[in-house]
């Protein structure tokens, strides 16, 4: 059955991230009641870079508000990239006003960077043991939340033959059609889109694939196929970017939001199938540290994890929740076929760092397209 295959696929994917820790790590010396009281006294939580269509965050934020109506959720710059999030923390050191973010959701490679800079404070949620060891900082400064794979979102009204692999996007029939879902100099999604493209050429993950990806996009730009616009549902529907390279959960959510106008197909490429993990963290300078901790407890609760899965993201606690029979069958049924994910590759932190350095430093000189 499809449900059984989905269980196997998702479980295998998370196991590929690393074995679950066996030790017990309690959230905090505070009881949940004490934490809730302290967070309600603060009265506000400031988030950043959380579009409501990303990973089901609209429902996640609504769920948190419903559970804790005493806490106002102040949402900053929903379209910001991971680098922008770190800059927001740096720029607001000592600022307790509404422009200082309490919590971050960034690409995996940005977690260690932020910790090294002293931008984060540690916190271990109650379900800490069920987060795979390979995607969390042992001291609790950052921790994996969900993952997806890079995909092509295609406007079928404008694209007659849907591309199935990276090499297809270089063909003449896709002139003026292909965009990344972010600026590859700052957006983790776009930076890893370049890595996936490089892997699609046969390059090994890391710096080599990053450079190969830059060459790939340089060729695409020279051919006139690349569109230097940040792709999203609106630009795809308007025809400005008929093909958008984005995480599968974003593409699937955008597809649903368009309600068939235009008709959209979401394709996981045959090669260069890249899985990307994002991580949560609390700012070291959070004006509302208790609300930030309570937000993390909500995200890693069964309710929060299920809402991410509803948004087509594969949540970090999937293995444990599956074993406990906590995954609703209808959420599994809504996911793409298992076969699309069988070749998914999870790059290591070192590989992501090598790619990130190559892409952010080399995009302007190699590709020369000012994405905005």
Nearest to 207 by CA among 357, 367, 364: 357
CA distance 152 to 308: 21
Residue 281, SS3 per DSSP: strand
Q: What average pLDDT does the structure give for the chain?
A: 90
Say what the pLDDT of residue 28 is. 45
- Class of residue 26 by CB neighbours under 10 A (exposed 0-12, middle 13-18, buried 19+): exposed
Domain 2-147+277-341 has CATH 3.40.190.10: yes
Res. 6 pLDDT band, cuts 50 70 90: very low
Q: What value does the mean pLDDT take over residues 203-211?
A: 96
Q: Which of 36-40, 108-112, 132-136, 202-206 has the lowest mean pLDDT?
A: 132-136
Contacts of 117 by beta carbon, 8 Å cutoff, 6+ apart: 86, 90
Q: What are the structural domain ranges in the chain?
A: 2-147+277-341, 148-275+345-363
φ/ψ (deg, to 5) at 66 = -65, -35
**Do 185 and 364 touch, CB atoms closer than 8 A?**
yes
CA distance 52 to 69: 19
CA distance 347 to 61: 29
Q: What value does the mean pLDDT take over residues 12-31?
A: 43
CA distance 279 to 50: 13
User: CA-CA distances (angstroms) from residue 367 to 180, 227, 232?
Assistant: 13, 12, 21
pTM: 0.80
Domains 2-147+277-341 and 148-275+345-363 share a fold: yes
CATH numeric code, 148-275+345-363: 3.40.190.10
pLDDT digits (tens, 9 = 90+) for 65-112: 999 999 999 999 998 989 999 999 999 999 999 999 999 999 998 999
Q: Is the peptide bond before 312 cis (omega within 30 degrees of 0)?
A: no
């Amino acid at each position: 059955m499809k449900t059984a295959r989905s269980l196997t696929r998702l479980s295998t994917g998370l196991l590929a991230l690393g074995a679950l820790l066996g030790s017990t790590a309690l959230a905090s010396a505070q009881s949940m009641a004490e934490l809730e009281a302290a967070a309600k006294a603060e009265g506000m939580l400031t988030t950043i870079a959380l579009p409501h269509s990303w990973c089901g965050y609209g429902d996640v934020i609504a769920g948190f508000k419903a559970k804790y109506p005493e806490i106002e959720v102040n949402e900053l710059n929903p379209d910001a990239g991971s680098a922008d999030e770190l800059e927001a923390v740096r720029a607001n050191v000592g600022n307790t006003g509404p422009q200082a973010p309490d919590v971050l959701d960034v690409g995996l490679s940005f977690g260690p960077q932020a910790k090294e800079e002293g931008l984060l404070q540690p916190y271990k949620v109650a379900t800490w043991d069920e987060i795979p060891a390979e995607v969390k900082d042992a001291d609790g400064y950052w921790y994996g939340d969900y993952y997806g794979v890079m995909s092509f979102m295609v406007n079928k009204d404008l694209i007659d033959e849907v591309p199935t692999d990276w090499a297809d996007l270089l063909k003449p029939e896709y002139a003026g059609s292909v965009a990344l879902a972010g600026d590859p100099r700052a957006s983790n999604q776009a930076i890893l889109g370049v890595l996936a493209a490089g892997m699609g050429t046969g390059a090994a993950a890391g710096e080599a694939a990053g450079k190969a990806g830059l060459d790939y996009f340089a060729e695409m730009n020279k051919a006139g196929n690349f569109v230097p616009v940040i792709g999203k549902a609106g630009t795809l529907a308007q025809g400005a970017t008929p093909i958008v390279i984005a995480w599968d959960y974003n593409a699937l959510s955008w597809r649903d939001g368009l309600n068939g106008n235009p008709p959209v197909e979401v394709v996981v490429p045959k090669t260069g199938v890249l899985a990307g993990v994002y991580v949560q963290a609390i700012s070291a300078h959070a004006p509302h540290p208790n609300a930030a901790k309570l937000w993390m407890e909500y995200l890693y609760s069964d309710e929060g994890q299920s809402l991410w899965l509803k948004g087509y993201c594969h949540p970090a606690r999937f293995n444990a929740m599956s074993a406990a029979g906590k995954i609703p069958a209808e959420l599994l049924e809504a996911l793409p076929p298992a076969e699309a994910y069988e070749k998914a590759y999870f790059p290591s932190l070192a590989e992501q760092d090598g790619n990130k350095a190559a892409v952010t430093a080399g995009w302007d000189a190699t590709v020369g397209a000012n994405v905005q």
